[in-house]
Structure 1
Amino acid sequence: MSPCSVVLFCCVVVVVVGSNGIVHGFTSVPPSSSPPLLRVVKGGIRTHRPSLSPLSPHSYNHGSRRPLRMLLPANDSASHTRRVATRPTRLLRPTSGSSKGYPSRKFRVLSLAGRPDNNNDNDSKERRQFMLDPVTQTFDHVTKSVQESVENARTRLEQLLRFLPAPLRNFYRAFFEKLHAWKGFLVSFTAGAFLATAAIIYPIYASVESLSQPVTLFETILGDLEQAYVEEVDTNKLFETGIAAMLRSLDPYTEFEAAQEAVALTESIEGRYGGVGLVIAGTPRAAAEPKSNANQLLPAAAQSDTASQEDTERNRNTMSNVMTEEEEDEYMDRKEQRKALEKARKQGIRVVTAFEGYAFDYGLRVGDKLLAIDDKPLTADTTVEDVRNMLRGQPGTLVSIEFNRDGVDDVQTVTMPRAVVRLRDVKLATLVGSPRDGIGYIQLSGFTSNAGAEMRQAITYLQQRTLDATNGDKSLQGLVLDLRGNPGGLLTSAVDVASLLVPNGSDIVSARGRGFPGMLYRSRVDPILNPNTKLAVLVNGQTASAAEIVAGAVQDLDVGVIVGADRSFGKGLVQNVEELPFNTALKFTVAKYYTPSGRCIQGVNYKGGGGLKEENGGYIASKVADADRKVYYTKAGRMVRDGGGVEADYKIEAPKASALEVTLLRSGMFNEYAAEWSKTHMLTNNFAVDEDIYRNFIAFVDQKQKTGDIELDALYSRPLSDLKKALKRSGYKGAEKEVEVLQANIVREVQKDFDKYRKDIKEDISQGILARYLPESMLIERGMKNDAQVEAAIKLVANKNTFDKILAQGNTAERMGGANSLNMASGASAQSTSGVRATIQW
């Protein structure tokens, strides 16, 4: 027998023998020593040792441990029996005699300390002693039994030890002799373990307890509404509305994604889906299926799709006398929504973009109207979501699409295979100017999981083209990375892109939050961009999130110059996408991120709204004031600040669109005119928007204005309408008429912009027409040639002296030693992994 087996055997023997002794000690109480029971009789309390007969109403089964039944009249019900039995600490004394040996049903409470009347001290002492005797006897008996069991266990252990070798026997004897000395340690260890466990479990219990009440309340309210509301309710929509309102009170980025939205979110993160590569527009589901109260403020005639304009206006005037201002505003909003819905239904499902390599290669173009999918006709009530679901499917399967093109009489049909459509982040990578100059341009539109690989491929392509153009004499001299309008994407994709630009071992970004582990992302690869290549990064007010991580790393590590009008968006928050049951998801803010200098560029502070106290229960947002922005320093000592996005190092004002151009873009006039133009014209190689086309466009807009399809003063209509209402309430009729005159003057002033901004509007017309014939990459390249900011960035990277001077500004030893210089947030160094890509979104 091995020593381990002997030890195990001895431990089992000790436990079994000890437990048997203890059990024996508790179960071997003889009936003769059982504690006497108390019996209530007429005239006082007497000691009564119950009979062991099971027929006796007062029999006491010692082994069953049943509670003492203090008084059980013959006719008592079971409920009364339970009620009396649950109060064993009090006795009942009869107030009158009993019959047939049983007391009367009228009782008085008698304390265990003695009778309430005519008690002397001796009687009280005897009664207390009488009550304590059974307890004392039982305790003595149990103690004696335990001691005997321990002695028996020790004797048996000594007998077993005799069979062991002498060294092992001596070891066990020494162990048991010293066991009592370890008593304090064992007690302390046990107490410490208990307290540590309590310290861990209690916060969890408290957290669960704090959540149980609101969850139960929410479930109760939802159940009550489902069962007893005056009309039948859709609990799913009601639940989503409640959840959306709750999350909306935190910040604009925390959202609950239902099944359909969760699928779209996953596709945007992964950058691929199974389909044909089309972006379509038409009737949205929200418009096709309005909520029950959507038309409550509309007159009966306006609720019908066939109602005339005259009926609508007449009913509106009738109702205006009883409407409040808020109701009238809501009515006007509903009217505009209805007009947009009717326009969308009339236009049907139209192609907005056809991706190269997919639907574009099979002949579909911008503006095509889809008529049927797999021989299933598309009606006026068919929504964009319905068509999208028809086009999506398993890669490799075929789908048939019938469509109509403006200017072509016949219906066209194309059958194409579904494929894994990859949403490209790099929209364009090209050399600008002469290839021998070696100046490259890359437009990066997002940060899906493929962004790093696409950027690496684009930079390699530009480097190779430069080498080919110069016969290997010159490498890529400058690169313009365009991040304007880039809304962001995945954190790890931003790290991947930045790693291609910054030195190996450089800190790129860190993130930390209340429940988010502190993480530091550091480059682990050599940059693919040559350090001698001048890098300019274009940003604007729509450059956000992951795009700002790249821009912030480039700026803080002094590897490039930030070019733009002012600053980026200023979103320094991290969102986690957590999968939920039933194919849903929750996107919620978990942390803030910090650039290599240690600054957080979040421009707006959010805090939870005040519930019903705040308007709509929304979040409370406060912009970071310039006076509160702290100063940090880049690696070379340049001064930068937090709390407001990434500021441009080299500022170039972007051309501003006129009010007329904005109105035309929002109303879709350029696309509608392109559809009309394509009906009677063919695109030629030397196409350009001449004066004839421009005059024809002005006449087209004028006709749309007369029919009410466009209002040139749309940007000012709501403020002017509010002003007219205020003047009407005040009784200023003269001033009200002057506002109407002002409104007419505004229309005339806007019309003058056709001459003032002729060049810009012509370019918009040209883009609208060419979009029906050219792929997206060619449109971007064509628009880049007329971009003032791109042109300025190209000149900057080509001018070595100006570029180096910007990066050298403020490069002093005093600033290099600042407390905020490259002060990254502490955290674990981490490389980007596919697992992080699936859960973290910026």
Structure 2
Amino acid sequence: MGMKKIVTVCLLALAGVTGMSAATRSNKTEVARNLDIFNALVKELQLNYVDTIDAKKSINTAIFYMLDEIDPYTEYYSSDDQEQFNMLSTGEYGGIGCVITKGRDGRIYFAEPYEGTPSQRAGVRGGDVILQIDSDTLSTKWDVARTSEKLRGPAGTVVKVRAMRPYVADSIVTFEIERAKIVNPAVTYYGTAGTDGKTGYIALSAFTDKAAGEVRDALVDLMENHGVTSLVLDLRGNPGGLLESAVQIAGLFVPKGTEIVRTRGRGALSERVYKTIRKPVAPDMPLAVLIDGGSASSSEIVAGSLQDLDRAVIVGARSFGKGLVQSSRTLPFDGVLKLTTAKYYIPSGRLIQAIDYSRRNEDGSVARMPDSLTTVYNTVHGRPVRDGGGITPDVVVESPKINRLLYNIRRDNWDNDFATMYAASHDSIPAATEFVVTDSIFAGFKRFIDPDKFAYDRACDSILKQLREAVEVEGYKTPEVDGQIDALETMLHHDLEHDLDVNREILNELISDAIVRRYYYQKGAVANSMRYNKALHQALKLLENREEYCRILNLR
């Protein structure tokens, strides 16, 4: 309770500095006055508060809430968070190279070792339960962040991990893992696709400082060694990264000197124009770009600029809508402030930012810009496109609807736990591109899910409960009404096995992904997912139909 009071008081002291409209116009005297108040307040708390307080934690909490009032992208990184900040831009860190997660039983698991990293070479498997790290024994109170901090460290140092491997006889395993510099690749997979194998496919997960080089290398390899004549660039789920990386990647497909994006900050002289500076690799190759609601920032710069230039057909679902640019500023004591310094505008002149954080509702909430308030712009060939609300695809492919059954299976890792059991009794599986969930495997999955342990918050049950309460409150409760609700409840009674069968198409994808990752890691999972990828299938179909491709882009 004391911590909550401290944070509240800190926020009140900072109120004169943090209000969006007030903060940007406050004069130096007003800012200095509020900082003096805050300094005096913290001093009094340190000296006279009844309990001992963690000043660093309290002040960091106040900073977090202050920045959160501005926008979600302006963030403070203390000296303790430097590795996390550097990893965002470089994709590099010192560690063992493994994803960890907290299971529904509260224990910490190795979820997936990355191929070729120290954890994979040491023999770590997805599903191994972490029992001890060096001299620290883990309990259910440990979280992912604390565990990750213990596993990370300078390259060349050794960490000793004791783990329990489920579903095997000798279940206790010990690893001595030498940490290394882990470089997460931006291109998670590339290869050929389509009926004739002449369409290339590149999956890009982030815009790091190495992303453009990785995409270039993949594209050159596909062209020179696989003879591809068209390309699908997959940016789905890619949250963005470095703006310069986006410009370089777009530059692989458009003439040198082409404007990709321009940024505008507060000052009249703050505008910067970003143009491509190198000769393109594939200036004329038919191109489709896949996006969805997880495609943001630099992903939207690439997709939006190629759409505005009529250089690519955009396929999938509407993107996130982040049109803000962040820059980093060094602070005292090795801190870093990543703050929003500009908005970006793609070639047609549109800003695709979906939310104006400077205009909040009375309760402090924000909302997306409605389509009715957006403005129409035009591409190079005169096609209408709109600002606000992200990038709308030229060809819309609806994402599958996720119901509560599927959500709970993923949330509680039932698919991954089943994959752990499956891998324990199967030394190998077919190639990633050939593996499918057979009737036998699916039957095993259904048996694996324990109805007594499966947390299934059924929507119909919740609605029926609300209906019963509403009937009583509104005065309609009679034996006849109760009987009708009872009859409806009987009709809507959930049968877990039936529900699993109804959702088999999507469950096949989840189960297949989880199992393939146990044998072929991230690249194998992407290769396997291509068979289920409806947006990719639509893009391939379009690239094979050049007449339709040219019609969409108004190409003559």
**TM-score in same-fold range (> 0.5):** yes
- SS at 2:494 equivalent: helix
Query: Does 1:576 pair with 2:327?
Result: yes
Shift in Å, 1:719: 6.2
CA contact under 8 A between 1:281 and 1:351: conserved in structure 2? Answer: yes
- In structure 1, the partner of 2:514 is 768
- SS at 2:72 equivalent: coil
Q: Once the two structures are superposed, what CA deviation does each residue of 1:814-833 show, in whole Å capped at 9, x if it has no partner?
A: xxxxxxxxxxxxxxxxxxxx
- In structure 1, the partner of 2:352 is 601
Q: Which amino acid aligns with 1:784?
A: M
TM value normalised by structure 1: 0.58
Q: Which amino acid aligns with 1:233?
A: I
Q: Which amino acid aligns with 2:185?
A: R
Query: Does 1:644 pair with 2:404?
Result: no
Shift in Å, 1:670: 1.2
Distance across 2 between alignment mates of 1:264 and 1:721: 45
Shift in Å, 1:739: 7.0
Please say which of residues 213-222 and 437-446 is displaced more in the overlay.
213-222
Q: Which amino acid aligns with 1:635?
A: V
Equivalent of 1:519, from 269, 272, 275?
272
Structure 1 alignment gaps of length 5 or more? 1-203, 284-339, 468-475, 812-842
Shift in Å, 1:730: 6.1
Distance across 1 between alignment mates of 2:224 and 2:133: 44
Equivalent of 1:807, from 550, 553, 556?
553
Q: Once the two structures are superposed, what CA deviation does each residue of 1:507-533 show, in whole Å capped at 9, x if it has no partner?
A: 01001121582111011111111x331
Query: Does 1:710 pair with 2:449?
Result: no
Shift in Å, 1:578: 2.4
Equivalent of 1:753, from 499, 502, 507?
499
Shift in Å, 1:373: 3.1
Equivalent of 1:689, from 434, 437, 454?
437
- In structure 1, the partner of 2:11 is none
- In structure 1, the partner of 2:115 is 356
- In structure 1, the partner of 2:302 is 550
Q: Which amino acid aligns with 1:776?
A: Q
Q: Which amino acid aligns with 1:517?
A: S
Shift in Å, 1:575: 1.8
Q: Give 1 or 2: higher helix fraction.
A: 1
CA contact under 8 A between 2:83 and 2:93: conserved in structure 1? Answer: no
Distance across 2 between alignment mates of 1:350 and 1:724: 42
- Structure 1 or 2, whichever has the larger Rg, is 1
Distance 1:603 1:385, change over 3 A: closer
Equivalent of 1:405, from 159, 162, 165?
165
Shift in Å, 1:717: 6.6
The number of residues matched between the two structures is 525
- The 5 A counterparts of 1:287-686 are 343-344=105-106, 348-358=107-117, 359-374=119-134, 376-410=136-170, 411-433=172-194, 437-467=197-227, 476-514=228-266, 517-529=270-282, 531-565=283-317, 567-607=318-358, 615=363, 618=364, 620-685=365-430
Distance 1:564 1:724, change over 3 A: same
Distance across 1 between alignment mates of 2:162 and 2:251: 46
- SS at 1:648 equivalent: coil
Q: Which amino acid aligns with 1:481?
A: L
Q: Once the two structures are superposed, what CA deviation does each residue of 1:88-146 show, in whole Å capped at 9, x if it has no partner?
A: xxxxxxxxxxxxxxxxxxxxxxxxxxxxxxxxxxxxxxxxxxxxxxxxxxxxxxxxxxx
Distance across 2 between alignment mates of 1:602 and 1:497: 21
Distance 1:736 1:544, change over 3 A: farther
- The 5 A counterparts of 1:166-315 are 207-282=27-102
Please say which of residues 354-363 and 225-234 is displaced more in the overlay.
225-234
Q: Once the two structures are superposed, what CA deviation does each residue of 1:703-742 show, in whole Å capped at 9, x if it has no partner?
A: 3x324x41241x5676666666666666776679987886
Distance 1:655 1:282, change over 3 A: closer
Q: Which amino acid aligns with 2:494?
A: R
Q: Which amino acid aligns with 1:274?
A: G
Distance 1:211 1:552, change over 3 A: same
Q: Which amino acid aligns with 2:251?
A: S
Distance across 1 between alignment mates of 2:130 and 2:61: 33
Distance 1:403 1:217, change over 3 A: same
Q: Which amino acid aligns with 2:357?
A: Y
Distance across 2 between alignment mates of 1:563 and 1:464: 26
Q: Which amino acid aligns with 1:695?
A: A
Distance 1:524 1:740, change over 3 A: farther
- In structure 1, the partner of 2:447 is 699
Distance across 2 between alignment mates of 1:730 and 1:680: 57
Q: Once the two structures are superposed, what CA deviation does each residue of 1:244-290 show, in whole Å capped at 9, x if it has no partner?
A: 2222222222233344444312212221011111111238xxxxxxx
Distance across 2 between alignment mates of 1:568 and 1:556: 15
Distance across 2 between alignment mates of 1:393 and 1:279: 15
CA contact under 8 A between 2:513 and 2:528: conserved in structure 1? Answer: no
Q: Once the two structures are superposed, what CA deviation does each residue of 1:273-321 show, in whole Å capped at 9, x if it has no partner?
A: 11111111238xxxxxxxxxxxxxxxxxxxxxxxxxxxxxxxxxxxxxx
- In structure 2, the partner of 1:297 is none
Distance across 1 between alignment mates of 2:70 and 2:460: 32
CA contact under 8 A between 1:509 and 1:520: conserved in structure 2? Answer: yes
> Identity of counterpart residues, as a percentage?
36
Q: Which amino acid aligns with 1:598?
A: G
- The 5 A counterparts of 1:19-38 are none
Q: Which amino acid aligns with 1:521?
A: Y
